[in-house]
Amino acid sequence: MKSVELFRLQEMYQFRTDVISQVKTETEIRRDLENLYITVKCQEPETINTRSSGDAYAVWQGDNLELMLGNMGEHPWYRHFVLGAGGGRHSIYAGLNDWQGRITVLEDHYWEAEFVIPFRLLGNFDRTLRFNLLRQRTGELQTASKIEYGHDVEVFLEFSITLPEDYIEHGPWIFQVSTDRASIGWETVGASETKLEIRKQGDTEYDTVTECAVSNNRKLRRVHLDGLEPDTVYEYRIGYADGEFRTMKAETDDFSFLLLADTHDDAVRFSQIIQHPEIRDCEFAVYLGDMLTSSLDRSLYYDSFLDSSVKYWKKPFHYMRGNHEFRGCGKGAFRELFGRGHYVFHHGGVMFITFEVQGDLPLEAKRRWDEEQEAFLKELVETPEFKNARNRIVLSHVAPLMADDSEAHAAEKIFRHFPAGSIDLFLSGHKHSYSYIAPGADVIESLNVKRFSGRPTLVHDYPILVAHYGGFMRVERRGNMLTVHSWNECDQKLDVKQFPLK
């Protein structure tokens, strides 16, 4: 969304006087739906003192800007953010990771700064905010409002701010895309009805889709679209938000996808991976579970990876739960967000089969859940869809790895139903250590030899790979060859493996 201008200030007072400073400071405040953007342009006839390069109190060692945002109400409040011409920052009320402040221009007699302050850092406000700015420069302290001290919220300048009552706060995200299907989800601030409009690129009219799953608070919506055409760009609109996605290809010999697992709430690492140059051209991503450590509610999904996926990845993803997403009451949150985590999708003649085995549930519930997974597989292998697929790749957070591991045996109980020769590659995570079992091999090769080497539960006729904790994989198909490139948590390349498609 484009930002909206809220406030402009062309001049500042000398502190505790009625005198307007001759040294010009211009301020502009804008907003979008998440943040306030405060730009400050500072003329400086003297030498700019950039000793304000350190964070915390060191920021007062040189020229700086102190921004105060607050409001009155029953309990007046304000938040305070300091940014030095040298780039140092300080805030009493917020962590330095929670807001941004940067020097955008630094010339001989002029500097410019930008603050980005998320609304979530601010206290309550209803259509107005109060603001003050202090500018410390050589021999002068300037102030925007005629305050006695820094804290007089009552005499701060006031500007009006109206946020739309309803807008998309999270999403839209595109997921579970196959050759003929796709799903779109989004969550709004209000609970008013929103509809999805969709059309094939090139068509003039949109079709309106009103059938969707709605969460209890009526803010989250999830649409499953069927009957789409393969390798086709679809454009969608949800209110003012719009975008497009491409369905998977029925036929192609070349494709690549990103796979990552076990980021465990680390949104920073997640964001690094999905912006990595090595996977930029991948057509889709697979988030293979344990993206959160426990899923108490939807906000943890947004914070851990989903908001970052929307912001940086933008392309379709497939997401299935690891064991950790079953902790807390997250089964409900996951289902509201994504529906079902075990399903199939197709791309380039390859059938991808996703599972969610061995969730962290009480033992009886865990057994029942695995029985559902087993029933899903037993039914699937009898379908023409399975039988007619040229190749098949399995995506499951937990793999049937070690012979002395009850979890691996539970997984094996399910995966034993794959007919011999039907699987080309099994991709997993969970063990936090890059590991490999070659087809027909009776040994696990692992980076963490002490914990994860040994014998597999059974000898399989397909290769099993385990993604590294905090790392990622690029899976590439070129003609009849699958190549899996693996990186670790520090972006160091671990391995390249090749598997001819059967």
Binding positions for Fe ion, rule: CB under 5 A? 290, 322-323, 430
Distance from C-alpha of 495 to C-alpha of 145, rounded to nearest angstrom = 61
The angle subtended at Cα 134 by Cα 43 and Cα 13, nearest 5°, is 70
For Fe ion, the closer of residues 137 and 430 by Cβ is 430
Q: What are phi and psi of 73, to 5 degrees?
A: 60, -165
Provide, rounded to whole angstroms, the least separation between the CB of residue 322 and Fe ion.
4
Distance from C-alpha of 321 to C-alpha of 333, rounded to nearest angstrom = 11
For Fe ion, the closer of residues 323 and 422 by Cβ is 323
Which distant-in-sequence residues (6+ apart) come within 8 Å of 42 by Cβ? 23, 24, 25, 63, 65, 85, 110, 111, 112, 113, 135, 137
Q: What are phi and psi of 307, to 5 degrees?
A: -60, -40
Query: What Å distances lie between residue 46 and 54, 107, 110, 186, CA to CA?
Result: 21, 12, 10, 51
Provide, rounded to whole angstroms, the least separation between the CB of residue 432 and Fe ion.
8
Strand partners, 409: none
For Fe ion, the closer of residues 168 and 333 by Cβ is 333
Provide, rounded to whole angstroms, the least separation between the CB of residue 205 and Fe ion.
46
Distance from C-alpha of 470 to C-alpha of 239, rounded to nearest angstrom = 36
For Fe ion, the closer of residues 348 and 429 by Cβ is 429
For Fe ion, the closer of residues 333 and 466 by Cβ is 466
Residues shown for the chain: 502
Provide, rounded to whole angstroms, the least separation between the CB of residue 398 and Fe ion.
7
The one-letter amino acid code at 253 reads: D
For Fe ion, the closer of residues 221 and 431 by Cβ is 431
For Fe ion, the closer of residues 285 and 467 by Cβ is 467
Which distant-in-sequence residues (6+ apart) come within 8 Å of 378 by Cβ? 417
Provide, rounded to whole angstroms, the least separation between the CB of residue 261 and Fe ion.
8
Which distant-in-sequence residues (6+ apart) come within 8 Å of 348 by Cβ? 248, 249, 250, 251, 252, 253, 254, 255, 477
Residue nearest to Fe ion (CB): 430
For Fe ion, the closer of residues 136 and 323 by Cβ is 323
For 441, the token pair is 């091999």
The residue among 379, 376, 356, 352 whose CA lies nearest residue 366 is 356
Number of other CB atoms surrounding residue 24 within 10 Å: 16
Distance from C-alpha of 490 to C-alpha of 289, rounded to nearest angstrom = 20
For Fe ion, the closer of residues 271 and 323 by Cβ is 323
Provide, rounded to whole angstroms, the least separation between the CB of residue 304 and Fe ion.
14
Distance from C-alpha of 338 to C-alpha of 298, rounded to nearest angstrom = 11
Provide, rounded to whole angstroms, the least separation between the CB of residue 470 and Fe ion.
13
Provide, rounded to whole angstroms, the least separation between the CB of residue 409 and Fe ion.
16
For Fe ion, the closer of residues 325 and 374 by Cβ is 325
Provide, rounded to whole angstroms, the least separation between the CB of residue 289 and Fe ion.
6
Query: Which DSSP helix (H) or strand (E) runs through 267?
Result: helix 267-274
Provide, rounded to whole angstroms, the least separation between the CB of residue 206 and Fe ion.
41
Strand partners, 225: 182
For Fe ion, the closer of residues 176 and 323 by Cβ is 323
For Fe ion, the closer of residues 290 and 307 by Cβ is 290
The three-class DSSP label of residue 114 is strand
Distance from C-alpha of 49 to C-alpha of 141, rounded to nearest angstrom = 14
For 333, the token pair is 């949150």
Distance from C-alpha of 250 to C-alpha of 244, rounded to nearest angstrom = 19
Q: Are 487 and 471 in contact (CB under 8 A)?
A: yes
Provide, rounded to whole angstroms, the least separation between the CB of residue 126 and Fe ion.
44
Q: Are 236 and 243 in contact (CB under 8 A)?
A: yes
For 466, the token pair is 């385990």
The residue among 264, 256, 337, 325 whose CA lies nearest residue 294 is 325
For Fe ion, the closer of residues 323 and 457 by Cβ is 323
Rg (CA), the chain: 27
Provide, rounded to whole angstroms, the least separation between the CB of residue 469 and Fe ion.
9
Provide, rounded to whole angstroms, the least separation between the CB of residue 430 and Fe ion.
4
